[in-house]
Structure 1
Amino acid sequence: MTRPLYVIKVGSATLDRETVHKEIADVVTRGARVLLVAGGATGIERHYAAIGRPVPTLRLTGGDVVRYCPPEEMDHLVDAYERVTLPAVAHGLRALGLKAFTAVAARNGLVVGRANRPLKAVSAEGRPIVVRDHRAGVPAEADTEALNALLDAYDVVCLSPPVADRDGGAALNVDADVLAAVLAVALDADHLRLVTGTAGLLTDPADPDSTLTDAYPGDGARYAGGRMRQKVRAAEIALEGSGADVAITGPHTMSEASGWTRFWRTRGPADDLDLLTHAVCVPSVSGDEAELASCLAEWCRGRGIEARIDAAGNLVASRGTGSRRLLLLGHLDTVPHRWPAEWRDGELWGRGSVDAKGSLAAFLEVLADADVPEDDQLVVVGAVEEEISSSKGAFHVRDHYPADAVVIGEPSGSQKLTLGYFGLFKLAVTASVPTGHSAGLDAVSAPDRLTRVLGEIRASVLAEAPEALSAVIDIKCERGRERDRAHGILNFRVPPGADLDALRTAALQHAGDGVDIEVLRATPGHQGGRSGPLAKAFTRAFAAAGIKPRFVVKKGTSDMNTLATTWHDVPMVAYGPGDSVLDHTDEERIGGEEYRAARALLAAAVDRWFALPEGSRR
């Protein structure tokens, strides 16, 4: 799994509170890389007080008062960070067992910036003046190679202002929020958090409960005053330049979702497409589903739906308390390589729009609107790690959430119903040979041996399952002092009914003599019929909508396969909007009308299933 990157900006007043260090540790525990940007206002005041030096200020023509930073003052500013703020950060993180690297961003040119224009200010006598020696600027470039190396080596990398001047001279003081945003853009961060002392961006500064929940480009400036203006500016810099999920959080915390203002780069063409849009805007590559799960859980709670995150990290939302349960199982995660989501000509472009956030968003909206009978229960689960072999979320569902029928959320198109999937037989094969020169007589390299044995395994397995599809999906080589090794991953998509024990025997017979074979996954295919009660509920919903559906069995696998390993008599189908041909491609997109059509059809099918009499749902 790829490790997501969080850029978290925390002011010195918040850093004084131990809770934020624990929250950062929790992010690290989830497997993320963390770049912390530390503000220094409190630390600067303490340092200047300790050395008996007044903090110089300037009054601008607009009335604002700013810290004055002539060249001779910059050494004191750097000392404030290096002697007060950064050591305190390092101490707090190391107390929690984290490896932390701290530095001002100017050191070794980690971040360089450009100086601002001369300032128009007001003298002590009230006369307008132009200040030309104020060492302030904006961050412009980051040494991404060095920063990525540090992020790989440490649990937390913490930077603070000032930055180096790209034109030489003394360092430049910069706004820490803007520094965080520029770093998020440069490093293609997945998440940017700007932690503040209020509950996000307030629409009424006098009302601490007036949090603006959602902000789109241009919205925040209407409410931001004082220091909050820079946070809004930073949020919009990140929105414009990256695909990061951006939020201003507080007060002094990232853990209270009610105190978040989330910033969205694109607005749905209509209100009924907002949930879909927001889901696609939050990155959630396998292993990084927590933020999307939290966002969707808040959406549910705002509509009176019981929602929680379970021990596996799955989103679980439900209505009704009856004993008969219909499960709508989608997944939160996507494959890697995302880009900023956007609507174009009625289509939402973005990673996961088809596979399979469209399905999950439709599930949640159907849950919100469904008329759930008293004796029934409708449950939506957004599972983690569907896109990787672990299928962690689906296994947890299989073992903890029994159901009477299941709809899997995968794209089949609004006019198709998927009745089943091929299974997965996945092998790790390692071939090794004594180390030697490849130019030797009759020399056989490790890749040679691997290539040969992969072909032999493939032939043996396909002899047992002629309809299976096979592909080598990864090859790596390594040189050793005594032996060279080549590693390959061989995937088979096997049809429902294939004998996995026979496939295992066919593959493992090729082990030995420098060949090691490990079965990574052996999940059977599964196929249901058209005549079951769940399939009929969909068929009748199609008919009522005037649609003649196509019924398909897909060559890929889904969480249906995982459930079917033990849920032998539970009716299951897969349904969801979008063209599956676009899965995992840079062309991934979903049409608004396609999404609406699938959502309406799903709602009708759910209603019809609930209307079935007791005893006829399996």
Structure 2
Amino acid sequence: MSTPRSQATTPSSTTTVLDLKGDVAALTAALMNIESVSGHEKTLADAVEAALRLLPHLSITRNGDAIVARTELGLAERIILAGHLDTVPLPTATGSRGTVPSSWDGEVLYGRGATDMKGGVAVQLALAARLSAPSKDLTFIFYDHEEVAAAKSGLGRLVLENRELLNADFGILLEPTNGTVEGGCNGTIRFEATTRGLAAHSARAWMGENAIHAAAPILARLAAYEPATVNVDGLDYRESMNAVKIHGGTAGNVIPDGCVVEINYRFAPDKTPAQAQAHVRELLGGFELVCTDSSAGARPGLNAPAAASFVAAVGREPLPKYGWTDVARLSEMGIPAVNFGPGDALLAHSDNEHVHAEAIRECLAALTRWLS
């Protein structure tokens, strides 16, 4: 008989012991030292679960490699603090510093996951250990498979299988934001635009029709496109639409009979995916378009009662989140949510990924002030 996902796992004798009450920057390094590329989160999930089960004020549920830890104090408000355990694959370039294990250069921590998002996960764990009597009930979510196809998302699985554990008044996703509250997120939609031709020998090109040449008007329309900046609930979201990949042809001496241009449109959260799709189809009317993926954005979430006090505790003017994040999943459940975490998002996935120790400590301090 298989073991239900929600049951506790038994940590092995090799499970890494995490110190949740020490320096949160050192905890970040310890998390980074456990490789957790998407699909291989189990070792880190085991360590996180083992550390959380030592905290008697939390109830713990595990679903695959996702973990939910909750206080049950019966307080008036409940806040979600969420973060993913996985990273993108390790860099292959010689001399890269975005590796596992991590390394220190003074107070700067280098390695895969430094910004995306082991610093944020460390802050979650530190809060879980230190706030046994918070001012608001807390739900900590640690989940797998964020860096791959949305269908594999551990948070998506929790929504389907453990929805009752995710009810909350407000959510914070600890993705890197340089310690500034970033409201909501843009939506994203992808298309394949296909042009078709007639194959022929390139020495007798007049016998064929070049599908790659036929894609030129698609590229011209995209190059001339002027993306909008849309104000949504006081924040300006910059849109973009770009060709992100193109492929076609079979050989160096054959006129290509097919070409595919892959297109990504990042749209402001005032639009639904259906509206975004209509916008792309209008721009590229006359071409064969197939929508391959779409995810709704999320409005800023700053109108929630908890948002004003949180922004005041952080002490910085909120900004929009241009990229898509899992605040959109929370928003779909009716939970207003923002992004807030240590590190520069521009360094995420890079061969030079790093985070300053003080940035992690400041993020922890701001959340501690607000939740204490």
The TM-score bracket by the shorter chain reads: 0.7 to 0.9
1:278 aligns with 2:43: no
CA separation in 1, counterparts of 2:271 and 2:226? 11
CA separation in 2, counterparts of 1:588 and 1:350? 6
Q: Secondary structure at the match of 1:434?
A: coil
Q: Secondary structure at the match of 1:537?
A: helix
CA separation in 2, counterparts of 1:394 and 1:310? 10
Which amino acid letter does the alignment assign opposite residue 418 of structure 1?
Answer: E
Unaligned residue ranges in structure 2 (runs of 5+): 3-8, 92-98, 231-236
Which amino acid letter does the alignment assign opposite residue 332 of structure 1?
Answer: L
Which amino acid letter does the alignment assign opposite residue 174 of structure 2?
Answer: G
CA separation in 1, counterparts of 2:24 and 2:110? 17
1:396 aligns with 2:163: no
Assess if the C-alpha contact under 8 Å between 2:183 and 2:337 holds in 1: yes
User: What is aligned with 1:493?
Assistant: 266
Equivalent of 1:425 in 171, 189, 193? 189
Query: Cα deviations across residues 8-32 of structure 1 (Å, max 9, x unaligned)?
Result: xxxxxxxxxxxxxx9xxxxxxxxxx
User: What is aligned with 1:258?
Assistant: 12
Q: Secondary structure at the match of 1:447?
A: helix
The CA deviation at 1:605 is 1.6
1:384 aligns with 2:144: yes
Equivalent of 1:352 in 92, 113, 124? 113
User: What is aligned with 2:46?
Assistant: 294
Specify whether residues 499 and 261 from structure 1 end up closer, same or farther in structure 2 by C-alpha distance, changes over 3 A only.
Answer: closer
TM-score normalised by L of structure 1 = 0.49
The CA deviation at 1:427 is 1.7
Which piece of structure 1 moves more, 388-397 or 347-356? 388-397
User: What is aligned with 2:240?
Assistant: 469
Equivalent of 2:344 in 554, 579, 586? 579
Equivalent of 1:505 in 278, 285, 308? 278
Assess if the C-alpha contact under 8 Å between 2:24 and 2:122 holds in 1: no
Structure having the higher Rg: 1
Specify whether residues 402 and 477 from structure 1 end up closer, same or farther in structure 2 by C-alpha distance, changes over 3 A only.
Answer: farther
Which amino acid letter does the alignment assign opposite residue 490 of structure 1?
Answer: I
Equivalent of 2:293 in 495, 520, 543? 520
Query: Cα deviations across residues 450-507 of structure 1 (Å, max 9, x unaligned)?
Result: 4433544676795898952123233333539998433332111112213543331243
1:441 aligns with 2:201: no
CA separation in 2, counterparts of 1:459 and 1:604? 48
Query: Cα deviations across residues 260-296 of structure 1 (Å, max 9, x unaligned)?
Result: 16599xx99x754342112111222233322222221
Quick one: percent identity of the two aligned structures?
A: 24
Which amino acid letter does the alignment assign opposite residue 279 of structure 1?
Answer: L
1:405 aligns with 2:158: no
The CA deviation at 1:584 is 1.9
CA separation in 1, counterparts of 2:281 and 2:229? 13
Which amino acid letter does the alignment assign opposite residue 332 of structure 2?
Answer: T
1:588 aligns with 2:359: no
What is the count of residue pairs matched by the alignment?
339
The CA deviation at 1:362 is 0.3
CA separation in 2, counterparts of 1:368 and 1:424? 36
Assess if the C-alpha contact under 8 Å between 2:200 and 2:207 holds in 1: no
Assess if the C-alpha contact under 8 Å between 2:15 and 2:47 holds in 1: no
User: What is aligned with 2:85?
Assistant: 332
User: What is aligned with 1:565?
Assistant: 332
Equivalent of 1:554 in 321, 339, 350? 321
The CA deviation at 1:540 is 3.5
CA separation in 2, counterparts of 1:294 and 1:350? 21
CA separation in 1, counterparts of 2:243 and 2:214? 15
CA separation in 1, counterparts of 2:89 and 2:285? 33
